């Protein structure tokens, strides 16, 4: 358990779900996926791009300062969400707080653009290095917000955002900081990135139907017969503070993390030992039946979804909480996905209403939502579980 109570006092995101809390909640409740089929390269593929309102907000941000015109979308997404988050938390530019915002792939679009230009011309733009380094995200946000605290960027594949939470909590518990801005940002909708997922044979390549509705990504469908992962883009940022405050949205009651030995570059054991250990660590001495909801990682792959489901069954036995996920509606946003799941968890705690997956098993709906666990894992079997309460 954390050494002292640390709370989330604000959270903000920008994604296909929208750019405001109301937009996000409305999108979840419509029970309709936000995917589009677009042509990138030589193929038409499902993906979840930013909403039109969100795109306009990013374009305005990009044109607001000449220095921002050449930044990668990962930086601009994170910058936009960070501005909104500190505003909600009551923080100000120039305040003393730390920043830890990561990305699985980093400056995807710019890196590919500069590399392609190099292959074609043999020359490299002077902006190629400073705008594609991983530290680019947090350093630009620190510049924009004029912070006085430490700034950190990292990449731990798809569990990046939740590792940012762990790191921010470690700084606060150490006494070296009282507040931390944490999260993840991802803009992976490029032909090369999609080709990589297809090479792994995990990407959605068709349509699946429930009733009269198409669901390209069948995350949390334990009966699916083919992989159905779909990529999305966006950023999600949270403000962590020491102690319970008047504006605290959720208390971080428990944290867990684990890594399991690899048998393959992208493997995870059939019953996800890493998730079993991370969930047990997050629970600590808490009885499993006190967890009301779990927001699962479930990327929409057969093995990934099923292994996490089996891990939950082992840890929670016959007291399985209500299970849900957001990837059927928003896609897999890699390094940002864990924080988008935390945002979903906080919204359910606030509204006291579960977000169901339309084609998943009918899990028992809790009479009251008091505690929600959020799971995330990435290539390499690096799982994180975070337990939230109100």
| pLDDT digits 0-9 by tens, 211-270 | 557 899 999 999 999 999 999 999 999 999 999 999 999 999 999 999 987 665 555 677
Collapsing DSSP to helix, strand or coil, 88 comes out as helix
Q: State the pLDDT at residue 205.
A: 84
Q: Is residue 117 exposed (0-12), middle (13-18) or buried (19+ Cβ within 10 Å)?
A: middle
User: Cα dist. 47→80, 110, 126, 170, 334 in Å?
Assistant: 22, 19, 32, 35, 13
> What distance in Å separates the CA atoms of residue 138 and residue 184, rounded to the nearest whole number?
10
> What distance in Å separates the CA atoms of residue 202 and residue 180, rounded to the nearest whole number?
35
Q: How would residue 207 be classed by pLDDT, with cut points 50, 70 and 90?
A: low
Q: State the pLDDT at residue 190.
A: 95
Q: Which residue has the tokens 């979903």?
A: 344
Q: State the pLDDT at residue 188.
A: 97
Q: Which residue has the tokens 């503070």?
A: 241
State the average pLDDT for the chain: 93
Average pLDDT rounded to a whole number, residues 35-39: 92
Q: State the pLDDT at residue 331.
A: 96
Asked if pLDDT for residue 19 goes beyond 50, the answer is yes
Asked if pLDDT for residue 305 goes beyond 80, the answer is yes
Q: How would residue 2 be classed by pLDDT, with cut points 50, 70 and 90?
A: very low
Average pLDDT rounded to a whole number, residues 106-115: 94
Domain 252-389 fold is: Peroxisomal Thiolase; Chain A, domain 1 (3.40.47)
DSSP letter at 50? P
Inter-residue contact 296 to 363 (CB < 8 Å)? no
pTM of the model: 0.95
137: Cβ contacts below 8 Å, ≥ 6 apart: 74, 75, 78, 101, 102, 103, 106, 153, 185
Q: How would residue 1 be classed by pLDDT, with cut points 50, 70 and 90?
A: very low
**CATH code for the domain defined by 6-242:** 3.40.47.10
How far the first Cα of the chain sits from its last, in Å, is: 16
Average pLDDT rounded to a whole number, residues 14-40: 94
Give tens-digit pLDDT for 325-383: 999 999 999 999 999 999 999 999 999 999 999 999 889 999 999 999 999 998 777 99
Give tens-digit pLDDT for 271-297: 788 999 999 999 999 999 999 999 999
Asked if pLDDT for residue 208 goes beyond 90, the answer is no
Give tens-digit pLDDT for 147-183: 989 999 999 999 999 999 999 999 999 999 999 999 9
User: Cα dist. 267→89, 119, 276, 285 in Å?
Assistant: 39, 33, 16, 30
Q: Is residue 246 exposed (0-12), middle (13-18) or buried (19+ Cβ within 10 Å)?
A: exposed
Q: State the pLDDT at residue 378.
A: 86
Q: Which pair of structure tokens corresponds to residue 129?
A: 């290095």
Number of H helices, E strands in the chain: 11, 15
- Domain borders along the chain are 6-242, 252-389
Q: How would residue 31 be classed by pLDDT, with cut points 50, 70 and 90?
A: confident
Give tens-digit pLDDT for 44-84: 899 999 999 999 999 999 999 999 999 999 999 999 999 99
> What distance in Å separates the CA atoms of residue 353 and residue 272, rounded to the nearest whole number?
28
């Amino acid at each position: 358990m954390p050494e002292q109570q640390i709370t989330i006092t604000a959270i903000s995101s920008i994604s296909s779900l929208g750019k405001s809390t109301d937009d996000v909640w409305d999108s979840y409740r419509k029970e309709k996926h936000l995917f589009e089929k677009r042509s990138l390269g030589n193929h038409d593929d499902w993906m979840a791009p930013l909403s039109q309102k969100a795109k306009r907000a990013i374009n305005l941000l990009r044109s607001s300062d000449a220095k921002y015109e050449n930044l990668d979308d990962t930086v601009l997404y994170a910058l936009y969400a960070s501005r909104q988050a500190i505003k909600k938390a009551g923080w100000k530019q120039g305040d003393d707080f730390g920043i830890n915002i990561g990305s699985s792939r980093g400056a995807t679009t710019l890196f590919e653009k500069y590399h392609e230009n190099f292959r074609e011309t043999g020359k490299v733009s002077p902006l190629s290095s400073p705008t594609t380094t991983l530290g680019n995200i947090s350093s630009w946000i620190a510049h924009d917000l004029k912070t006085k605290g430490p700034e950190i960027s990292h990449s731990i594949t798809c569990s990046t955002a939740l590792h940012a939470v762990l790191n921010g909590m470690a700084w606060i518990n150490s006494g070296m900081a009282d507040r931390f801005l944490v999260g993840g940002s991802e803009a992976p909708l490029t032909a090369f990135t999609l080709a990589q997922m297809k090479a792994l044979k995990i990407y959605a390549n068709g349509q699946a139907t429930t009733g009269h509705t198409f669901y390209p990504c069948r995350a949390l469908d334990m009966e699916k017969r083919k992989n159905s992962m779909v990529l999305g883009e966006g950023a999600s940022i949270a403000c962590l503070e020491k102690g319970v405050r008047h504006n605290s949205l959720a208390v971080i009651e428990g944290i867990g993390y684990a890594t399991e030995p690899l048998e393959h570059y992208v493997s995870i054991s059939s019953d996800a030992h890493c998730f079993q250990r991370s969930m047990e660590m997050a629970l600590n001495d808490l009885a499993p039946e006190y967890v009301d909801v779990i927001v699962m990682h479930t990327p929409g792959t057969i093995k990934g979804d099923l292994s996490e489901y089996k891990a939950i069954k082992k840890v929670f036995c016959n007291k399985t909480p209500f299970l849900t996920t957001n990837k059927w509606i928003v896609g897999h946003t890699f390094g940002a996905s864990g924080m988008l799941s935390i945002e979903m968890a906080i919204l359910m705690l606030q509204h006291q209403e579960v977000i169901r997956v339309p084609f998943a098993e009918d899990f028992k709906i809790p009479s009251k939502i008091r505690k929600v666990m959020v799971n995330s894992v990435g290539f390499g079997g690096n799982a994180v579980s975070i337990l939230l309460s109100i």
